[in-house]
Structure 1
Amino acid sequence: MKRTREKEGRWMKVGFIGTGSMGSLLVGAFIDAGAMLPANVAVSSRTPSKAEALTRRYPGLRLAPSNADAARDADLLFLCVKPSDFRAVLTEIAPVLHTGQIAVSITSPVKLEQLERALPCKVAKVIPSIVNKAKAGASLAMWGTRLAPEDRNRLTELFSTISRPVEIREDDVRAASDISSCGPAFFAFLLGEFADAAVRHAGMERGKAETLAAEMLLGTARLLVEQGFSTQELQTRVSVPGGITAAALDALRASTAEAFPSVFRVTHEKFAEDLAKVEASLRESGDTEKGGSP
């Protein structure tokens, strides 16, 4: 009876539609973590060269000739496509899916209720992060109404092999994604600026400055996550009143006061645009199926 995680993850048939940046990352992360076997994974992509690269890296992985073929026999199907591609993909795969399958979208502007309206299967939305490639960071989980508790447990177990799954409200997906999924790009930018300043103002070698900055960020994250420090406590522990760090923190607060509020305003405005485009596209698709104009 040694089929606990193997039964839940490694032995299920899995399909991936879309092998772009995040689709390819998920395929590789799950296989490298031992959560999936290449022979049980099928991928389809509108860019065959990306899918073919995965089949070369993971012998046994199957390149499906179409999205419908990748979906047909999958116990678990990942939808890793852009919002603008969802209408065509959902139209193609809906006829081959059945109620026992689970479809997981990693695209935040596509809502669960839209997926449930378009597909006959169970659905979930899980937003990964690039840091899941390092078996770190969070994955943001939102559940459709058709999922049973055991389905949620299976998905949570699967994503636990590469991340820390965190269940969120779908209404919070944009803010949560800003932190979890966009955050690595934001902080990579800030670390690059930090290293550049060390080069410009102190003549430090760039590679060494980047190494020190990256190791600092890794250690800081461990203190916050593993040692229970709060962000405020960590600042207090490092800075001494009247000291160098305290003075520098004052300068940093003054120069970045509006930085992250501005980031959230921009991401939410863009997200609202994407929501409207997806809604219009899927509504148009539904009207066409009912005999309306295309």
Structure 2
Amino acid sequence: MNIGIIGTGNMGRILIDSFIEAQAVEPANITIINRTFAKAYHLKQKYPSIHIASSIQEVIERSDLVLISVKPHEIYPILQENKDAFTPKQCLLSITSPISTTLLSSVVPCGVARIIPSITNRALSGISLCTFACTKEWEEKLLLLFQHISHTVHIEENVTRVASDIVSCGPAFFSYLLRRFIDAAVAETLITEEQATELASGMLIGMGKLIEKQVFTLDTLQEKVCVKGGITGEGIAVMEAELGDMFAHVFQKTHSKYHEDIKTIHKQFKSY
């Protein structure tokens, strides 16, 4: 399968590296284009057999699957300008949450899908969120492709944002919390930042493996560590008192921005 990738920014680069490392795609079967040529050229230096296209139309014409990895507001102009280059046998794949498969289908004459990845896919791990509006054959091809780098989960449109918050935004949210955890340890005790970072990172990796191997659930993890009347319980009591509705507010804020983005996107697609 020949894959064309429009946009080689952070997530486009992560997907290319992951697919190649997982041996899901040969570099020679990938055609790329990026508004900033240097980013595409850096990939060409790493993978010499990757083809850099001179136009988006060339990417489409050389590809069976066209993956678009640009900012949400840039997708409609690209598709509108190049829609005639698509054929019914192809599939268009978007990785952005505000644009539904219904909107994509309204512009291009081929099958479409939306698969929202996570930075954790770079470790050939984590989850990717799937919504399909294509043939069963294309659905199976896409699942096979992304199962090389992730665990695929089908989602409905009405949970797209919260699912993306957990899977795609989650690593940034919890990296921030871990950073604050480390900073507080350094500020309040004699531990160095280097040692606190090593210990906290190792703790997080170990906890992930316990969950992955189903040794403990999240609830039983807390129960096993939090001995009644012990030190962990004192820390949990502080967190219960001070966290409050913080995470509720996080979801409220992300959903508010999501709905703003959807309004902007629908104005672009309104002619369809």
- Give the TM-score taking structure 2 as reference length: 0.97
- Say which of 182, 202, 219 aligns to 1:215: 202
Q: 1:117 aligns with which of 98, 103, 106?
A: 106
Comparing 151-160 with 261-270, greater Cα deviation is found at 151-160
* AA aligned opposite 1:46: R
Read off the aligned partner of 1:244 and give its amino acid letter. Answer: I
In the TM superposition, 1:105-144 aligns within 5 A as 105-144=94-133
Q: Secondary structure at the match of 2:187?
A: helix
Contact 1:68 1:92 in 2 (8 A): no
Separation in structure 2 between the aligned mates of residue 208 and residue 149 of structure 1, nearest angstrom:
51
- Secondary structure of 1:182's counterpart equals helix
How far off its partner does 1:93 sit? 2.4
Asked if residue 199 in structure 1 is aligned to residue 186 in structure 2, the reply is yes
Determine helix, strand or coil for the equivalent of 2:93: strand
Across the aligned residues of Structure 1 and Structure 2, the Cα RMSD in angstroms comes to: 1.1
Give the letter for the 2:154 counterpart: E
Q: Deviations over 1:204-234 (max 9, x none)?
A: 1112211211111111112122225221111
Contact 2:79 2:108 in 1 (8 A): yes
Report how far residue 30 of structure 1 moved.
Answer: 0.5
* Partner SS for 1:136: coil
**Partners of 1:43 and 1:63 within 8 A in 2:** yes
Alignment partner for residue 41 of structure 1, among 17, 20, 30?
30
Shift of 1:112: 0.7
For residue 162 of structure 2, what is the aligned residue in structure 1?
Answer: 175
| 1:106–1:126 CA contact under 8 A, matched in 2 | yes
Of 140, 150, 156 in structure 2, the residue corresponding to residue 153 of structure 1 is 140
| Aligned match of 1:243 | 230
Aligned to 2:241: 254
2:268 is the counterpart of 1:281 = yes
Q: Matches of 1:152 and 1:177 in 2, distance apart?
A: 20
Aligned partners of 2:69, 2:198: CA distance in 1, in Å? Answer: 32
C-alpha displacement at 1:283, in angstroms?
1.5
Give secondary structure in 2 for the equivalent of 1:140: strand
Of 39, 64, 89, 1:100 maps to 89
Q: Deviations over 1:221-253 (max 9, x none)?
A: 121222252211110011101100011111112
Partner in structure 2 of residue 52 of structure 1: 41
Matched-pair contact (CA < 8 Å) for 1:109–1:275: yes
Q: How many residues align?
A: 272
Q: Which runs of 4+ in 1 moved over 4 A?
A: none
How far 1:42 moved relative to its partner?
A: 0.3
**1:77-129: CA deviation from partner (whole Å, max 9, x where unpaired):** 10101111012111122111011111110011011110000000100000000
Match of 1:75 among 64, 74, 77: 64
Segments of structure 2 that go 5 or more residues without pairing to the other structure are: none
How far apart in 2 are the matches of 1:219 and 1:170?
Answer: 34
1:171, distance to aligned residue in structure 2 (A)? 1.6
Residue 290 (structure 1) aligns with = none
In the alignment, what sits opposite 1:188? 175
Counterpart in the other structure of 2:19: 30
Matches within 5 A, 1:8-19: 12-19=1-8
Identical-residue share of aligned pairs (%): 39
Distance 1:270 1:228 in 2: 37
TM-score (norm 1): 0.90
2:4 partner letter: G
Q: Distance in 2 between matches of 1:92 and 1:71?
A: 12
Letter of the structure 2 residue corresponding to residue 142 of structure 1: T
The answer to whether the Cα contact below 8 Å between 2:31 and 2:62 also exists between their aligned partners in 1 is: no
Once residues 264 and 181 of structure 1 are traced to their aligned partners in structure 2, the CA distance between those partners, rounded to angstroms, is 13
Residues 1:87 and 1:148: Cα distance change in structure 2 (over 3 Å)? closer
Q: Which amino acid aligns with 1:18?
A: G
